[in-house]
Structure 1
């Protein structure tokens, strides 16, 4: 897909913005690389993969804020509702970044993260009650976390209409089958010219055909084939002989 199919071409440091290599988050290798080189966002689906602490959520949050969305989730018009009385740039990263957009591709942005999903459900229900927003697609607080997450991801207008979709570990709430359905919906979004950036630990999601995968580790951000991902290797070893792992821990 050409650059015209990318609502956001890249995210980069604002010229002259300060960098502190000895402090968080600048000391995280992936963040340091972003500040140094910028981050190109290809058309279609891009997954950020890495261990805890490698900067996946920090990067997705920063991209969300640069694109005008609250780091707790939502869209520019309908935010998650948490921390509305405080500053939103929690890492101090977004304020030093800018987005380079494709001409004529300024469509809507939607950010959904697993850990703040219930606060976003509350916001949606309150906004609909006072006539300040569209009604939620379902009684989200009356179903399981996974069911509510699936409802928003697969059937809500915020996801279906977003030109840029940002996700933070969506698999944490989803069954195997619903992860497959989510992957199919992300592929459909890419085919429609929409752009997806997703932080994940899921070997299932990252196997999506045609997806771009960036591994975050001590080297920074590295494009990796699915078969070469650390998480794929680890899951294969575990499933092949789980007793080897448990022997070391128990």
Structure 2
């Protein structure tokens, strides 16, 4: 019997989100469609795996795409779950309104969005509005990295056994190298809990998670990559070998 094609596999996928496309008839004018990766997403769509990692320089559109997918799924723009209504200063694009998510056969529609940019506001909201399922926690008494790890561990505990969609935007902010390694190992183990992860990062450590689908973004669009093909990996290697190459001498 011949092996199933990619289309046949994804048609019966159990992932919460297996593909992202632009809704038909959307007028692609102005920002964020001027971003190369957003324009390519609009033209070709984007298939997601169990763990999809977007990598690229500042300003190419990683956060814009991740944020839009999270919001199209029903997650709060500034972080939190599908039930969160917290908002401080709206800055998101309207891209989410034009996206069409193809969902798999996942039993759970629950999800959570964590982003470095709005973490302080989310932690404040959680402290002021503790839920019965999530006892009051003094997040602001921790360091940024400790608070992030505590929050992520708590939310993953809620998702364990029932699956869901976890979206992370630059979670390495505030994390030491060892904490990034711990996070990478934590994310690697989520497959066994049926949790799908979409991650935007600059970190070559997080990008090294085994079996992740790596997608590198630049001004022109996006391409699948191996870890050793990523520009961020090459730059880190060059810097560690010779900081003087970058003028630090």
2:46 to 39, 49, 71: 39
Residue 74 (str. 1) matches residue 80 (str. 2): yes
Rounded Cα–Cα distance in structure 2 between residues aligned with 1:220 and 1:51: 12
1:200-223 deviations in Å (ceiling 9; x for gaps): 000111011111110001331100
Using the TM superposition, give the Cα deviation of residue 135 of structure 1 relative to its aligned residue in structure 2, in angstroms.
2.5
Question: Residue 79 and residue 134 in structure 1: after superposition, are their counterparts in 2 closer, same or farther (change >3 A)?
Answer: farther
Rounded Cα–Cα distance in structure 1 between residues aligned with 2:43 and 2:107: 26
Report if aligned partners of 1:89, 1:95 keep a CA contact under 8 Å in 2: no
Runs of 4+ in 1 over 6 A off after TM superposition: none
Rounded Cα–Cα distance in structure 2 between residues aligned with 1:115 and 1:132: 27
Using the TM superposition, give the Cα deviation of residue 122 of structure 1 relative to its aligned residue in structure 2, in angstroms.
1.1
Partner of 1:56: 62
Partner of 2:244: 243
1:107-130 deviations in Å (ceiling 9; x for gaps): 2110000121111111111112xx
* TM alignment of 1:187-226, pairs within 5 A: 187-226=188-227
Residue 10 (str. 1) matches residue 19 (str. 2): yes
Structure 1 runs not aligned, ≥5 long: none
Question: Residue 152 and residue 162 in structure 1: after superposition, are their counterparts in 2 closer, same or farther (change >3 A)?
Answer: farther
Rounded Cα–Cα distance in structure 2 between residues aligned with 1:208 and 1:118: 27
Report if aligned partners of 2:163, 2:193 keep a CA contact under 8 Å in 1: no
Using the TM superposition, give the Cα deviation of residue 35 of structure 1 relative to its aligned residue in structure 2, in angstroms.
0.9
Partner of 2:146: 147
Q: Secondary structure at the match of 2:101?
A: strand
1:157-216 deviations in Å (ceiling 9; x for gaps): 456565110000000121111111111111111232221000000011101111111000
Rounded Cα–Cα distance in structure 2 between residues aligned with 1:221 and 1:236: 22
Report if aligned partners of 2:163, 2:194 keep a CA contact under 8 Å in 1: no
Rounded Cα–Cα distance in structure 1 between residues aligned with 2:115 and 2:28: 27
Rounded Cα–Cα distance in structure 2 between residues aligned with 1:139 and 1:89: 27
1:93 to 88, 92, 95: 95
Q: TM-score, normalised on structure 2? A: 0.88
Question: Residue 81 and residue 132 in structure 1: after superposition, are their counterparts in 2 closer, same or farther (change >3 A)?
Answer: farther
Paired positions, count: 238
Using the TM superposition, give the Cα deviation of residue 132 of structure 1 relative to its aligned residue in structure 2, in angstroms.
7.4
Question: Residue 40 and residue 78 in structure 1: after superposition, are their counterparts in 2 closer, same or farther (change >3 A)?
Answer: same
Using the TM superposition, give the Cα deviation of residue 155 of structure 1 relative to its aligned residue in structure 2, in angstroms.
3.4
Report if aligned partners of 2:107, 2:163 keep a CA contact under 8 Å in 1: no
Partner of 2:3: none
Using the TM superposition, give the Cα deviation of residue 150 of structure 1 relative to its aligned residue in structure 2, in angstroms.
1.0
Rounded Cα–Cα distance in structure 1 between residues aligned with 2:158 and 2:220: 35
Using the TM superposition, give the Cα deviation of residue 106 of structure 1 relative to its aligned residue in structure 2, in angstroms.
4.3
Rounded Cα–Cα distance in structure 1 between residues aligned with 2:168 and 2:86: 14
